[in-house]
Amino acid sequence: MGRDTQAVSGVAEYGQQVRLIAGREIICDRDGFFWDPHQWSEEVAMALAEEAGMKELNETQWRILRFLREYYFENGRSPLNRQIKEGTGISLMDLEALFPGGIKYGARRLAGLPNPASCS
Amino acid sequence: MVAFGKIIYLDNAATTFPKPREVLEEMTEVYSSLGVSPGRGSYDLSAEAEERVMAIRHQLSRFFGASDPERVIFSYNATDALNTLIQGLITPGSHVVSSRLEHNSVLRPLYHFKEHGVIDLDLVPFDSEGFIHPTAVAEAIRPNTRFVILTHASNVLGTVQPVEQIGMICRERGVPLLLDVTQTAGLLPIRMNEWGVSAVAFTGHKYLLGPTGIGGLVLSPALDVKTTRFGGTGRDSLSLIHTQAYPHRLEAGTINIAGVFGLSAGLHYVLKQGLEETYTKELAIAKRLRDGLNTIKRIRVYASDRPGQCVPIMMCHFDGMDPEDLSAILDGDFGIATRAGLHCAPLVHQDLGTSPKGGVRLSLGPFNTNEEIDKVLEAMATIFHAR
């Protein structure tokens, strides 16, 4: 956990936890995904990136995060796989390599989007 | 939407896709002409619909090697059928034997009763190749064991369990053997009477190639299952007590008639193609895939290649890449649909060491081709050589 992030309280309903990230109390699920995407800010993203071992986010990474968030708020849901590829102009294979946590635990989580539904 | 034909679909263990056009046409045609409440109206069409539904119960009874068509009960899917079965058989203080290979459709009902102190539960392990040993089942059976319930084939590993030997043990010990045939019905012959199986729970939308929303139970005459859902049956309506005559004893409310017709159409199609021919073809394609994956470094493939003891399902695990990301890359970059995660079988992944993130499951169906498999292998090689 980076210097700007810290778990504030334990598990609540549905595995929720409150974490202190970049000075803000953020409600996350048990996998660290935001419960409320509105709680995201660029400072929060930077703190999460630092926590993942990244010293900074480059322009491509910011572009991806911004696309994910814009798509989410325009459409009320996260983009599908092919929409990420079309919208960012980057293959998912390359995108996965751009973030230490990959697509789901890297890009999607740093963008402050809710946990995508899957069989986990 | 991605039009069919542009994706390579390898999630057939979840549901087969696409359904054969003949199945959809037959379902629509029969439903268009007979889609009334079967056997509940005093008009000819209702009687004809009931006759048709009964004929389908006969068809299914024969298919599963059972003896009493009235003990073919329709449900929404295998999970629904398993719940009807488990809840209708559990008695307080009894003991149940199952396995660590099971899907949550078996584990969760059993754990519900275990957690509430209703039953004791023993789960037999599987070996390094994904098989349950009959001796382990024999050792787990106690004097108060109510039933043994097992999956016929693992939905993660595709391994087909030695049901004949386990059936023999259960018969000798006087314990009903209940079989979840979700992943085998439509691929392998199932012989309830011959194997000493007291009940099978099946779904229509996987290898039986029917629509979703239809499944069922087939019971042997020696097994009585308590009613756990009550309602209208179209029979004995004066009584406020639910009828105890099969199949309505376990069917409350109007059945999914369109689904029943679709299930029948799927079964017709499966039998027309030939079980053995389909199985042999799919297994050959699965072997091509498995052998190819095994040549790619860092991919671990969990599957069996024993003929007759596996279905075309395999699970892959990769060090250094989240299974969901791999599945997303295969989908977004290559148009290949796979299933990442735990596959609703958490104990399998726990024992394989692939929990909590699971792996990527590749499950083949009747319409996969060698050309598709070559594209999948090419995609995998591209992904892993780039890293």
Read off the pLDDT of residues B6-28 as tens digits, 9 standing for 90 and up: 899 999 999 999 999 999 999 99
- Percentage of chain A lying above the pLDDT 90 cut: 75
Number of domains making up chain A: 1
Instruction: Tell me the pLDDT of chain A averaged across its residues.
Output: 89
Residues of A in contact with B341 (CB under 8 A): 118-120
Q: What does the alpha-carbon distance between residue B90 and residue B67 come to, in Å, rounded to a whole number?
A: 24
Is residue A28 one of the residues assigned to a domain? yes
Residue with tokens 């949550």: B104
Is residue A29 one of the residues assigned to a domain? yes
Domain housing A69: 5-110
Is residue A67 one of the residues assigned to a domain? yes
Is residue A118 one of the residues assigned to a domain? no
ipTM at complex level: 0.89
Residues lower than pLDDT 50 in chain B: 1-4
Q: What is the Cα B16 distance to its own chain's centre? A: 12
Interface contact B329, partner A, CB < 8 A:
yes
Is residue A116 one of the residues assigned to a domain? no
With a CB cutoff of 8 Å and minimum separation 6, the contacts of B314 are B157, B158, B286, B289, B290, B293, B301, B302, B303, B361, B362, B363
Nearest residue in A to B380, CA atom = A93
What burial letters (b/e) apply to A101-117, b meaning 16+ CB within 10 Å? bbbbbbbbbbbbbbbbe
Is residue A52 one of the residues assigned to a domain? yes
Rounded to the nearest angstrom, the minimum Cα separation between B387 and chain A is 8
Can you give the pLDDT at residue A120? 64
Q: Do B343 and A119 touch (CB under 8 A)?
A: yes
Can you give the pLDDT at residue B3? 42
Q: What does the alpha-carbon distance between residue B350 and residue B332 come to, in Å, rounded to a whole number?
A: 29
DSSP state, residue B7: S
Give the CATH number of the domain where residue A16 resides: 1.10.10.370
Is residue A93 one of the residues assigned to a domain? yes
Q: Give residue-wise pLDDT tens across range A50-90.
A: 999 999 999 999 999 999 999 999 999 999 999 999 999 99
pTM: 0.94
With a CB cutoff of 8 Å and minimum separation 6, the contacts of A94 are none
Q: Residue A3 pLDDT > 50, yes or no? A: no
Residue with tokens 């799919």: B282
What burial letters (b/e) apply to B198-212, b meaning 16+ CB within 10 Å? bbbbbbbbbbbbbbb
Q: Do A120 and B325 touch (CB under 8 A)?
A: no
Q: Are A57 and A41 in contact (CB under 8 A)?
A: no
